Amino acid sequence: MAAPKPQPFQARDKLAFLLSLVPYLMDHDRVTVTEAAAHFGIPPEQIRDAVNLIAVSGLPGETSAYQHDDLFDIDWDAFENDDEIVLTNRVAIDDSPRFSAREASALIMGLQYLSALPEYADRASIASLIAKLSRGTSGAVAPVGVGGAETRESLMPSITLIRDSLDRGMQLEFDYLNARGELERRRVDALQVESVDADWYLRGWCHLREAVRTFRLDRISRAEVTDEPVAHRVSEVRLPELFEASPDDLEVVIDVEPSAMPLLADYIPDGARGQQEGTRVRTAVRVSHYHGLKRLIASMPGVVTVVSPPEARAVVAEWAASAAARYRA
């Protein structure tokens, strides 16, 4: 099962874009389609479609006939010959629209989440931005919030060091304890810090494995920035998706409670089929080794069971049994 994709550009997005493009064009006497496309991050063709629509839109007017003076107008020669947009008549709109309550809260929650990063640790800039967004919102901001991320101060020293190594272009060295329990000193060209909710990862080029690797920040210790320049930068390396499958992965069949499916989405391969099995769903997960699997399955007790292969079942049973045995002593 793939992660849910963002929604495609719908009528609502198109309307938001039209209402945003008009004030931008009013502030710019003459702008090329290419410039507008780059500014909005939208393909040039969509800019042209929007301009074509704006140019024939307006007000019904006194006669309800949408007369010329009641419509927007553009310099058609400049548009058709030079791909330039020049508004020559405008109606109704004077300024940029306010944010909706949900739009503002999406940005505010994003800002609250970012306050976990060392750059924004003072939070004064974040607080003033949140106040501004609230004032620029139509109606009240929806009551939503993100917290507990700022308490990730335990990871702050690692993040600060990674930041330093990224800024200076110097290799990073640290002890890493992998999921198999092996501790190794790793030397890495840091590429990117990624996070998903409360979990933080370093993506980097590992000089030991000579490949891009992902490291959980909470498994990193004794990190230091070396005086060796990096050999790889994020612009030069193909960075796979955080949970992208590897051809070496092992596939394991599981039965899972439907309510727990979202928790396993990262492990379920794209296109995997779920099949009803009583109240549960039978599907497959991919893992790099059974050491990771036993931890995953044991952390979701009662909602997921390994069906096959038998070795995988045995590894999970053994892991839980040896833990349970500690309580009998």
Partner 1 sequence: MTPAAVPVEERLFSLVLALLATETGLTKNEILSTVQGYHQRFRSGGDNANLERQFERDKDDIRDLGVPLETLDSPGDAGNNQTLRYRIPKGAYELPTDVTFTSEETALLNLAATVWREGSLSGESRRALLKLRSLGVTADEPLLGYAPRIRLRDAAFDPLDAAIRKGVRVRFAYLKPGEEKATERDVIPLALVQYQGRWHLSAERDGERRVYLLRRIIGPVTTGKPATMPEGDLPAEALAGLQAVWERNVAELQVEAGSDAALRLANRDGAEVTGDHAVLHFVDVNILADELSGFGPEVLVLSPPELRDAVVARLRGVVSAHGGA
8-27: contacts with partner 1 (CB under 8 A): 10-21, 23-24, 27
Task: Check if the beta carbon of residue 89 is closer than 8 Å to that of residue 56.
Answer: no
Does 325 bind partner 1 (CB under 8 A)? Our answer is yes
Contacts for 148 with CB less than 8 Å, ≥ 6 apart: 198
- Within positions 204 to 223, which residues make up the interface with partner 1, using CB under 8 A? 216-219, 221
- Within positions 37 to 56, which residues make up the interface with partner 1, using CB under 8 A? 39-41, 53-54
Does 302 bind partner 1 (CB under 8 A)? Our answer is yes
Does 264 bind partner 1 (CB under 8 A)? Our answer is no
Does 300 bind partner 1 (CB under 8 A)? Our answer is yes
Taking the complex as a whole, the smallest distance from the CB of residue 160 to partner 1 amounts, in Å, to 12
Does 237 bind partner 1 (CB under 8 A)? Our answer is no
Torsion of CA 87, 88, 93, 98, to 10 degrees: 20
Number of other CB atoms surrounding residue 142 within 10 Å:
16
Cα(28)–Cα(85) distance, rounded to whole angstroms?
9
Q: Could you say which of 29, 197, 227, 248 contacts partner 1 (CB under 8 A)?
A: 197
> Quick one: which segment of 73-81, 146-154, 243-251, 279-287 binds partner 1 (CB under 8 A)?
146-154
Please report, for residues 41, 60, 70, 87, the alpha-carbon distance to residue 66 in angstroms, rounded to integers and kept in the order given: 32, 4, 6, 18
* Size of site (CB under 8 A) for partner 1: 131
Does 245 bind partner 1 (CB under 8 A)? Our answer is no
Closer residue to partner 1 in complex, CB, 77/131? 131
Closer residue to partner 1 in complex, CB, 81/324? 324
Task: Check if the beta carbon of residue 26 is closer than 8 Å to that of residue 20.
Answer: no
**Binding mask of the shown chain, residues 87 to 126, with x at each position contacting partner 1 by CB under 8 A:** ----xxxxxxxxxxxxxxxxx-xxx-xx--x-xx----xx
Does 154 bind partner 1 (CB under 8 A)? Our answer is yes
Number of other CB atoms surrounding residue 235 within 10 Å:
7
> Quick one: which segment of 80-88, 243-251, 261-269, 275-283 binds partner 1 (CB under 8 A)?
261-269
Contacts for 329 with CB less than 8 Å, ≥ 6 apart: none
Does 79 bind partner 1 (CB under 8 A)? Our answer is no
Closer residue to partner 1 in complex, CB, 114/272? 114
Number of other CB atoms surrounding residue 315 within 10 Å:
19
DSSP 137: B
Taking the complex as a whole, the smallest distance from the CB of residue 250 to partner 1 amounts, in Å, to 16
Q: Could you say which of 43, 139, 229, 240 contacts partner 1 (CB under 8 A)?
A: 139
Query: Is residue 48 classed as helix, strand or coil in its secondary structure?
Result: helix
Selection from 25, 20, 17, 18 nearest residue 84 by Cα: 25
Q: Could you say which of 85, 87, 155, 188 contacts partner 1 (CB under 8 A)?
A: 155
Cα(148)–Cα(126) distance, rounded to whole angstroms?
16
- Going across the sheet that includes 275-277, the strands are 275-277, 280-287, 250-256, 304-308
Closer residue to partner 1 in complex, CB, 181/271? 181
Does 137 bind partner 1 (CB under 8 A)? Our answer is yes
Number of other CB atoms surrounding residue 104 within 10 Å:
23
Does 148 bind partner 1 (CB under 8 A)? Our answer is yes
